[in-house]
Amino acid sequence: MQRRLAVRGGARLSLMVSLVSFGCAGGGSGAPDAAPEAVREAPAVALGAATGVEMPVTLEVPASLLAARSVMVSPLAMGRVEAVLVERGQHVAEGAVLVRLRDIDPRRQVAAAEAALASARARLGGQSGLDQVPEVRAAESALVSAEDALGRAERVAPEGALSAQDLSRLREARDAARAQRDAARAGARALVASVEQARVSVEQARQGLTDVTVRAPFEGDVIDRHCEVGQWVSPDRGVIELAASTRLRVLFWLSPDEVSRVAVGARVEVWLDPAGQRRTGATVSLVGRAVDAERRAVRVEAWLENTPGASVLPGTRGVVRVETGRREARVEVPASALIERAGVWRVFVPRNGRFEERVVSVLDRHQGRAWLERGVAAGEQVALQPQGLADGMQVHR
């Protein structure tokens, strides 16, 4: 409940001191007394109540908000830049073309490889199976004929119908046909291998044609570009710096004693400004299993979903608040009772008919309320909108 108060100024007093002559020689004179200081006037103010509450005790640790993914995109082939299709700060989709290199030489290589493949397939007779090659089929047919003739001769030889010399010639013909069949098969295998090699060459040439186009590996924002049209680039040099900022990685460190307060999946509060007016939540994704030798602390990470309304930039510094599981008594007052002077928060409390200026320790401010650690006791009242007040001003009820 608020009450409207007014500050009353004191009446101006003036004391006139008369010098009285008693008519005697060497008559004395008295010095005038100092006038009391006037009480300053102040504007009317309203009062708000300070109430006692129990709040969770939290740890506040500095944090860095980093892009979930950040890479320097490089081309897969050497070449001269023909076009740069993005600018700094541009949001791109996964697979979007970032940079295009000259493709004259890769196109020539594709054409040559496709011509070599066509020639190899023509030598193979357009067949894909080894036994379907014309040379192999002819050699197989000749071998079958030779083996058939030899078989008939061997069946009639015991009857004396065929001389031993003729039988030997038939066996030699059968062996020659078999050797010719094996040679045809070897030649066909070489042709098949040449076709496969030509096919691989075509795939490599086509991949080389694809490699002249640099694409975004994921959805994100262009942080910087490191190439210009006409510049010679190679795979060992990045051309576009890309960061995925739709999800941020919150990195902070806790002491070995404090790290037990958090676990994977827990929610933590992230302040994006010192006063906590911009705040959001994050989910703990990693709790380190070792103490960093230099920091003497344990690494903790959390995911922060960077919605379009939040617009948190990668690289932002913040503060992570981690609940300890304990609760302590605190004082809650309207946030409008606070006034900052010389970098220190203060409130004005009516006491014994005058306003008393007090320095307070502010734990948090949010949605029109403020929580104090010290400076005001529960049950006291505080002046709202105290910009015109000063310590010692008189309260008029």
Return the pLDDT at 376. Answer: 94
Number of other CB atoms surrounding residue 85 within 10 Å: 14
- Is 58-68+243-326's fold the same as 75-101+216-238's? no
Question: Which homologous superfamily is 58-68+243-326 in?
Answer: Efflux pump adaptor protein, beta barrel domain (2.40.30.170)
Which regions in the chain score pLDDT beneath 70?
Answer: 1-42, 124-132, 274-277, 307-310, 396-397
pLDDT digits (tens, 9 = 90+) for 92-128: 999 999 999 988 777 787 788 778 777 777 776 665 5
User: 277 Cβ partners below 8 Å, 6+ apart?
Assistant: 365, 366
Distances (CA, A) of 304 to 26, 80, 163, 282, 312: 92, 40, 98, 5, 10
Residues 6+ apart with CB under 8 A from 338: 345, 346, 347, 360, 362, 365, 370
Nearest CA among 262, 306, 307 for reference residue 285: 262
- The predicted pLDDT at position 11 comes to 33
Position 382 scores a pLDDT of 95
The string of pLDDT tens digits covering residues 196-215 is 787 888 887 777 778 888 99
Tell me what pLDDT residue 298 has. 96
Rounded to whole angstroms, how far apart are CA atoms 120 and 202? 12
Domain ranges in the chain are: 58-68+243-326, 75-101+216-238, 103-211
pTM over 0.75: no
Write the CB contacts of 242 (distance below 8 Å, at least 6 apart in sequence): 70, 71, 72, 73, 92, 98, 216, 217, 218, 220, 221, 222, 223
Residues 75-101+216-238, CATH architecture = Beta Barrel (2.40)
